[in-house]
Structure 1
Amino acid sequence: MVGVLVALLVAAVTTAAPQAHPPRRCLNQKCGNVSVPYPFGIDSGCYREEKFFINCSQSTNPPIAYLGEGNLPVTNISLEKGELQIQMLITKDCYDQQGEQTNDSQAFSSIKMAEFTISATKNRFMAVGCDTNAIFGGYRETEQYMSGCTSFCQSIPSVNDSCSGIGCCQTYIPSGLTNQNITLESFYNHKYSWNFNPCSFAFVVENGQFTFSGETSFQVLSNTKRLPMILNWEIGNESCSAAKKRVDYPCHNKTTKCVDRIIHNKPASSGYFCQCLPGYQGNPYLPDGCQDIDECETSNPCDNGTCHNLDGSYYCKCNSGYRNHDPKTCIPGTKNTALKISLGVCLSFLVLLVLVFWIYCGVKRRKFKKQQEKFFKQNGGLLLRQQLTRYNGSIETASIFSEEDLKKMTDHYDEKRKIGEGGSGLVYKGILPADKREVAIKMSKVSAPITDSLEFANEVILLSQINHKNVVKLLGCCLETQTPILVYEFISNGTLYDHLHGKDGKEKLSLESRLKIASGTAEALSYLHHSISNPIIHRDVKAMNILLDKNYVAKVADFGASRLVLEDQNQLATLVQGTLGYLDPEYLQSHILTDKSDVYSFGVVLAELLTGKKALIKRKNEAENLANVFVCAMKEGRLAEILDADVVKEEHNFETIVEKVANLAKKCIALRGEERPPMNEVAVELLGLVQIMGKNTAGEKVDDIQRSSEDTDHLLGSPAANYYDYVLDVRGEVGDSASIAVEPYDHGR
């Protein structure tokens, strides 16, 4: 049968305020062998409040002290540590040779307390037995915690004070628990260990009060009913700082101090208790209860000289030839004049050295400041500041940060703040001091200065004004370093590449999520190509440059290879830049860059979303372009063979939607640029597919449909559309061969 131990320790409700100290007749009370110091007490009026009542039972010899009206024996009360030692029943589960549970089994026990907590640092939860599964549970206020351990064995080898899983297991317990439940279970009813171990035992025990020693421990526990356990107690349930404001504050004596009881993982104090200051001993809850310790009375603590007692301490009067290094330490004295002169010379030299070092540091600081000013001018800082003044807050523009600002935002570039590192640079997570907003700070590893400061100033202003929901926003820059440091909005959920190909357990993407990511990316590229007066060609569209926020909204990043296209330019002759697998073959051959180059790269991303394969597929010792594999599969009617398993398992309109997306991807990766659709048409088609998918999965609201229609009108060029806040115009500020020379972060590319 399962035995239940319930020790209710709930303090009686009383309206009386806690008494400051007991009557003189109550001092130095004892119950049997247990001293009961105030605030605890035995008789009425001799304890501070009800929870400190000790019931001294005279039915035994010697008498036994019980906690409150319960049945938990108290064997020690510590004022210094705010602890109680109690004797706790052992939970046990026994079986006979036929595997039947015996009558003396108590496989479940429970203790509930309102005013005391189980010490997590002074106790351990242990289970003993060779067919034992023990579970420990408890509550901290309304939060439940469970732990436990398992031990199974068919024999016990010789052990040497070890509880490591063979016949015995142990674990820590959470702090701050006001109750505990212990449950014992047996896997095979001890059939395989009955001849030497018919019982399992579980208990919370004070550290060092139980040592496992093989079969001997089985016999000892069979004849033992209780083991010691430590409880914590406090005077109040508030912090010391709050208790000091109360009229009944007990730690007010000049020889006492207040100690907060801090429970792990709880930000605030869970109560407090009083202690005597170092050098004093006694009862801190009584008037003048803490008395000075005469350290010199019993022994001489001084290694040299004689000991003289002080109030709360002592000092050593040194022997002849020695002097005090501090009040308790003596060191050899000296009358050597030459040594004194030497010490004086050394001290003077040290002062001179400090002075020279201080002057050197001042020179270095001034030199560093001049170098910062040089880089600031070289990187177009004066021009950028001039340009920002012209706007005078009429539109949102970039901020100029000092190098010291960035150090404060990143805790001096703490390694814990590093969120990415690649061949091109380092990315740190920072906190803006003004509004506590999280930002990403990208430092380039390339030590090459910006040569055209006018272009850089205009392009920073241009990028900072791009305010699109699917484009990573540039917030500012620091120009006091050789290569500018750039500050961007922080995107928390990694890159599309991480979610498609990463090994860090990213959440799988559904077909609907993939469509929304593709649609958001297409809208961003359409905006860059068609909705600003000087269009921008991204030139490096790839899965690693598409970031996802916590809601899986796509954010296009990394404009490091981008180019501005002025109104009188349709094509740009440039050095080929980009990433293999995403590069437009026409651009690779002709070096002529057009917006259709971005369309090709986006088509590869679409194929990547459908197939879950990388842009370059490794096969043995060769690498094959995903674009070629995708087009061949479609021509041969094998599209289903290369689709990602997470896409194939979708049910709603699967074939129709996937086929349309696949056909759109095929158009985008056409070899000839003139055969590819413009980015705004791609965005419109994907937006329509997202709307269809939304209707099939959760239905569509009227205002959502209307907003989707407005978005579609804008992407098609409708004059009535107002999808973006404004059109950027920096004509006359950027040269014909302008190139974006800034790079957003990419989470460790």
Structure 2
Amino acid sequence: MFHHNINFALLLSIFVFCSTIAATATNCRPSCGQHSLQYPFGFCSDSKVKLNCSNDGTKVKIGEFEVQNITSDGIFVSLPVKCNRSMGIVDPLFGVNFSPTFNNSFLLQGCKSKFNSCDITPSSFVGDHNPVEGCDRKNESEDFICFKQLPRNSSRREDVLQQSDLMGIGCNFLFSAIAYDKSKGKELLLQLQMLELGWWLKGPCNCSNNASCTVVKLGTKDQGYRCRCHEGFVGDGFKDGDGCRSTFSSVRQCKGSTLWPGGCRKAIKIVVLVGVVIIAAILVVALSLLCYFTRRRSSWLRKQVTVKRLLREAAGDSTVPLYPYKEIERATSFFDEKHRLGTGAFGTVYAGHLHNDECVAIKKIKYRDTNSVDQVINEIKLLSSVSHPNLVRLLGCCIEGGEQILVYEYMPNGTLSEHLQRERGGILPWTIRLTIATETANAIAYLHSAINPPIYHRDIKSSNILLDYNFQSKVADFGLSRLGMSETSHISTAPQGTPGYVDPQYHQNFHLSDKSDVYSFGVVLVEIISAMKVVDFSRPKSETNLAALAVERIRRGCLDDIIDPFLEPHRDAWTLYSVHKVAELAFRCLAFHSDMRPTMIEVAEELEVIRRSEWETLEETICTASSVGSVCSSPRIGRENSLVGASFERVGGQGSETLIVPPKTEMFLQSMTEVKDNSPVSVHDAWLSGTSSPSTNC
């Protein structure tokens, strides 16, 4: 909303030469404080378009509405939000020479029916901390209606609203209005709590020379008009007013005038002084810009030298090979758009073939600032120092010609997020989702427990969990990762990460620990169960954040409200059991206090037990159905890096089963150190924001 001073400064700029209306009566007020209006506006009784002045002589008003701005087409009046405001209060706005235009949307209350699905509430319009005048608790939760008169058609000949248009729509109260200001030419400004009135003079056009006339249709027979000076001329444009004169006519007239010669000389001096000031200001700005860009260029060159040195040191101290830039260009057909897989947070990913015909994913960093360099160096160092079948592998990098390029193995099945959000492929069965969760937990636990010092990922999310040909998961994107200090339980760093996944305690006290990744993984578990978006503003305000929604539903025992219906959790007992067990685990991971959350080793172990319980239950069923006392053996799990087994034991002969989990921490840590070099290809980053099918057969 415009402030008063700014509004009238714009008014004076539009009407360059404001004239004082001559008084025809002794009680006529020619101006209102510092505000003088030009023809046809005025404050006198015989003014063509009469406006009012407030009692204190500082505000221009129409009825009890304050005028905020006047343009060559309209009058903008303030209409603050207010509940239970009578519709009749706008009667003064339907005058003889002005009326609301079609460029308004009215916010109405107490309507008999909806018009265009534009429901709002008072709190959503002005904010939770600004109470709305006249509104009580009932009003704050009441839906309001947006009403916008449809454009004119063959049955509507007028250019402005009639009073019957507003009064006949069946609403009791006027809450506020929104005006669409087109006074800036092509630029359209949305004016909240504002109402635009169109104005006119009745009769046929009566404009001066060098002015254009706008015809205003008022009804079946009546019409009005407005005048506007052509470009390069100033004035009101009316024959009965000041007409139009050239922008420089005042100076020319002043030179040949014998009236007020001192005033003319003063005016010329002012013009010259203004010109000198403008030229001086331009020179100062030009010199400032020149100095700024010179320093920026010098700083950029120094940074480029530093970047090259740091990247070479990071790549030289590791086993990551350096690829020539020409080879990268050939691999991607010079970064052809047909090879583009998508765009991530820091660059564009392309599919390509290297010299040995190996299919790879090549990420070209788009930003070459210090922040992106730090993340590239960080990722090179971390990925070259770890090895796990469920972590993305870095194949090489390229740092020639000022470019920063990372080469990864190609990931054919995209990200877990894309499958959960139905953006690619079919519906993931529960068994695959559970296996993906278990493998991901194994990888994170490896970073936390099998590396010294431990690595905290800091950006665990479903779009950073990549899937290979067999839907084996790989954790990616180590740009935000940090090494933990072995002698402390946390490190202090400014909160970074993706909204909806960030540990609230980390965000509150800047203490980063392994439990921060546990919280993020808890959000991923809820995603796997519900297939819902982590942050979704289309949901009710209290349910926008998925983690908060899940914690509330699980605490109330209403998990079924958020389970993905495509999972069919009630199809069999094991599916229902395992979904609820994973939900309980997610609930513990999402505890606000980090001390209450399990470690990633414990999370990985519990997920493995839940996953294996399907086979143990099947084994129990086969053994029970057998009529002989043969020894039963469970089928093979299908993953070489499975951690431990679990079994069911009958209690009390009543047919109930208790899950027996043997101690397995040492076995788990040992299994994490195993490395599988035959894992399929992968890339990191959420590529597919605007994906395209590459021409390559990768």
TM-score normalised by the chain length of structure 1: 0.43
Compare the two structures and name the one with the higher strand fraction. Answer: 1
Higher relative contact order (CA 8 A, sep 6+): 2
Compare the two structures and name the one with the higher helix fraction. Answer: 2
Larger Rg: 1
TM-score normalised by the chain length of structure 2: 0.46
